[in-house]
Structures are given as structure tokens and as C-alpha cells.
Amino acid sequence: MVLDVHKADDSLVDPSLLPAVPVGLPKVLDLVVSGEATSRAELARRTGLARSTVGQQVEHLVGHGILREIESSESVRGRPPRVLTLSPRAGTIAVADIDTLASQVAIADLGGRVLAQETVVIPIEAGPQAVLEAVTEELLNLLERCGRDPDRVREVVVGLPAPVDPQRGCAVRPTGMPGWDGFPVAEWLRSRFHAPAVVDNDANLMAVGEAAQDQVDTPLLCIKIGAGIGVGIITADGEVHRGADGAAGDVGHIRAVGGGGDVLCTCGNIGCVGALASHRAVLSSLGIPESTEEDPLFGAHTLAERVANNDPPAVRALRQAATEIGEVVAMLVYMFNPRTLILGGPLSELRDDMLSGVRAVVYQRALPLATRKLTITTTQLGENSSIHGGVALALRDVFSERGIARMLVDDAGAP
Ligand SMILES: [Zn+2]
């Protein structure tokens, strides 16, 4: 289970002190949150529980501010029917997708709806303390803007552009991220929000977000082409494959097929595909600075503009990068035999050259059996994939047996 892998609630509540969750209560909650049942009668029918039992559980959940029961406006003769929904007081999920130059932060409700989202411009090189302070400040602003209680944040999820140790909740030997190696990100956030905190690799979150969309088949690989290149891997049964140490999918340091000349990578090796074909590498090959005093995202804006104007060197650089990435992707197709392969990150969204370039190499290199039913496409959610992935991961924890028990403890005595 995801919860056990992440140890999201370490040091918050002694699990042995959590109350037993009444039998059937998680199902009642799930049916209401998913919108599948909105009345006590429907709940009784769907769960097979006695109406009196359903009644007790509804009272319990309403009493703890998790559900609310309101009178429907659709009044049929006599007493208006009462409708069950998730209460706004049930709480929120806070998510931050931290990237090299800027971070996306968002607040979502427990129904998975994003309530507010903002960009925080701060370079990851500023170090964990400064970045986490900035991200936390913006999350608290968003909570205030939405009128949500900061004490009712149920889980915080953070994505980092680095290999992540999910047990310790920290980046492990990241490149270009001074101060982040081993910094206890999850612990820092737990103490700030008094809520469970989870840290994951950004490409993993992106993959979870994309895999949760309608009509997306697994196994799924999501390749994030940003400052580096990383892959999020979703197994056939919908779980993230993180590997033994959380380093699975860190493919940017695979040596490029052509050898990559003598380009030095941030990892200290020569010819890594990430040093040749990432967004950062393409900017550097075109002599475009990544950021300037006036525009922290100068590089991304300038490249997008040049590609839109069909600037030949920019289009050529994009196509070259697509070929390099295609070679790595073809290898991944051999290894994982995915059903869906998604390209994400700023470089893949500029225009179809990246997609068509990768497709061309994969179909040429990989065996027909592995590509027969393979879909290669770009993200459905664009730059919001990781945010949605973070929300999805958090909700699994929040609505797990332990998560529900924790909600019932937190709100004991609540009005
Ligand atoms: Zn490298």
C-alpha cells in the first residue's frame, strides 16, 4: 500500500492510539465522496448495511465535520429530501511541485478538486530552507484565500526533480540542488502543517496524475523533459514503481546512443542524454540564458517564441533532442512494454516535433509486438499533471483505514 511505502504519518500519531474505524464506514464515506450515493437510503442499498447502521455512521461523519447533510432544493411534496455531501470542513490537500526555477503550489479539497493554484518563483538552488519557506507561505495564502482552515490540511505532498527516498522523505544525491541531499523535507513540512507529508519524484507525480485520467491504460511511462530527464513508471496494477532506493526512472544519466560527444553533465559524466536533450540542454545549445533579472523563466519563454516563429536553429535543436530522447524511450519500451507512453515537461509541449520525433525512433527501433498497442502521446494535463498526481496520492492515504481513523481523532470534540 502507498501509505506504508511513504510512511506519511511518521511521528504524528502513534498508530496504536488510533480508534478502530467502524465496519462499513470507509465504504459509506467513499460512496458519498465519489458522488455515487447522496442519501441514507441509497447508502443502505449500496452497502447492504442496515439503515440504522448507516444512520449511525452518517451521524458520526457529520458530527466530525467530514460530511454534511443539507436539504435539497429539489423539493418534492412535503419535506425536502436531505442530500449528503463532503463538508468543506473535511479539510484539504496541499501540493507543491518544486522545479528548478519555479514551483507550482495548489490546494485541493478531499473530493480531488483543485481549489486554488499559484506559481512561486524561486530557484531550487536557493536551498531547501528558502524554497520550502516560500512554498509554505504561498500554500498558507491559498488556504486563506479559499477560506480553508490550515489546521485541517490532511496531507502535504511535494514533488522534487531528483531521486527521492520515500521512506526518509528527502532527495538523494540530486545534481544542481545544493543543500537538498538528505534534507528532511517531509519532516520539515510535517512539523509546519501538523499533517502527514509525502515527498516523491516529480516525474512519478506526473505519471500518477496522467494515469488517473479517463481512458488511460497501464503500464504507463511518463517522461518528463525539463531541466533534466526523468521517467515515472506506473505498473499494470496502477502502482508507482520506485525501485529499491527510489532511483527508478532517473534515465537522464543514461549515455546518449551517439556517445554525446564531450558534453559534461551535472553528474560529472560525459554524454548523458539529459545533458544533450533536456530543456536546459536545448537552451544552452541555442545560447539562450535560462533566466534573467526581469524574467526568471526567460529561457522557456524565448524558446517557445522562437519555435512558434519557426526559427530554424530552434526547430532543429528540438528535433535533435527528440531523436536522442527517442533512443532512450525505445529502450524503455523494450524493458517495460508499456501500453501508454507520455511525454511531459516544457520541451514536449512546444509543438509536435518532439512527439513525432520520438514516435519515429520508437517505431523504428522497438519490436512490433511491443508497439502494436502502444499509445505515444503528450500529457493531458500539461504543467498541472504533477499537482493532480500529488492530490491523487494524498487521497489514497487520506481515505485509507488509517487516514480515516486519523481524521476521526483530529476532529474529536469538534463543533
Ligand atoms: Zn549525467
Provide DSSP, 85-106. EE-GGG-EEEEEEE-SSEEEEE
Q: Which amino acid is at 240?
A: V
**Cα(238) to centroid of ligand 1, in Å?**
29
Asked if omega into 219 is within 30° of 0 (cis), the reply is: yes
**Cα(221) to centroid of ligand 1, in Å?**
20
Q: Residues 406, 20: contact at Cβ < 8 Å?
A: no
Q: DSSP character for 201?
A: E
Is it the case that residue 330 has pLDDT exceeding 90? yes
Average pLDDT over residues 171-176: 91
Is it the case that residue 106 has pLDDT exceeding 60? yes
**Cα(269) to centroid of ligand 1, in Å?**
5
Q: Which amino acid is at 259?
A: G
- d(CA 58, CA 55) in angstroms, rounded, equals 5
**Cα(264) to centroid of ligand 1, in Å?**
8
397's grid cell: 492515504
**Cα(179) to centroid of ligand 1, in Å?**
19
- d(CA 178, CA 127) in angstroms, rounded, equals 6
How far, CA to CA in Å, does 402 sit from each of 1, 17, 24, 391?
Answer: 12, 11, 14, 17
Q: What is the reported pLDDT for 12?
A: 64
Q: What is the reported pLDDT for 19?
A: 77
**Cα(278) to centroid of ligand 1, in Å?**
11
Per-position b or e across 137-147, b if 16+ CB within 10 A of its CB: ebbbebbeeee
Q: What is the pLDDT of residues 45-59, one digit of tens each?
A: 999 999 999 999 999
**Cα(251) to centroid of ligand 1, in Å?**
9
Is it the case that residue 1 has pLDDT exceeding 80? no
**Cα(130) to centroid of ligand 1, in Å?**
26
Q: What is the pLDDT of residues 187-241, one digit of tens each?
A: 999 999 999 999 999 999 999 999 999 899 999 999 999 999 999 999 999 999 9
Q: DSSP character for 152?
A: G
| Distance, C-alpha 274 to centroid of its chain | 21
Radius of gyration of the chain measured on its C-alpha atoms: 23
Query: Please, how many CA atoms are within 13 Å of residue 56, restricted to the half-sphere of its CB?
Result: 9
| Distance, C-alpha 303 to centroid of its chain | 26
Residue whose grid cell is 502494436 = 372
DSSP 3-state assignment of 68?
strand
**Cα(187) to centroid of ligand 1, in Å?**
29
Q: DSSP character for 286?
A: T
Is it the case that residue 72 has pLDDT exceeding 80? no
Is it the case that residue 260 has pLDDT exceeding 80? no
390: left (phi over 0), alpha (psi -120 to 50) or beta: alpha
Q: What is the pLDDT of residues 78-95, one digit of tens each?
A: 667 889 999 988 999 999
**Cα(254) to centroid of ligand 1, in Å?**
7
75's grid cell: 423539493
**Cα(252) to centroid of ligand 1, in Å?**
6
**Cα(287) to centroid of ligand 1, in Å?**
20
Q: Residues 87, 65: contact at Cβ < 8 Å?
A: yes
How far, CA to CA in Å, does 386 sit from each of 104, 157, 263?
Answer: 9, 10, 30
Q: Per DSSP, which regions of 166-298 are E strands? A: 170-171, 197-201, 220-225, 229-234
Residue % of the chain over a pLDDT of 70: 93
Closest among 150, 93, 100, 145 to 120, alpha carbons compared: 100
In degrees and rounded to multiples of 5, residue 66 shows phi and psi of -90, -45
**Cα(172) to centroid of ligand 1, in Å?**
15
Angle between helices 298-308 and 312-336 (to 10 degrees): 100
- d(CA 76, CA 79) in angstroms, rounded, equals 7
**Cα(407) to centroid of ligand 1, in Å?**
43
Ranked by mean pLDDT, which of 25-39, 197-211, 321-335, 343-357 comes out on top? 197-211
**Cα(268) to centroid of ligand 1, in Å?**
6
Query: Please, how many CA atoms are within 13 Å of residue 279, restricted to the half-sphere of its CB?
Result: 30
Range 290-296 contact pairs with CB under 8 angstroms and sequence separation of 24 or more:
290/101, 291/101, 291/123, 296/101, 296/102, 296/121, 296/123
413: confidence class by pLDDT, cuts 50, 70, 90: very low
228's grid cell: 533534466
Question: Which one has a higher pLDDT value, 146 or 367?
Answer: 146
Among 3-7, 107-111, 127-131, 315-319, the minimum mean pLDDT is found in 3-7
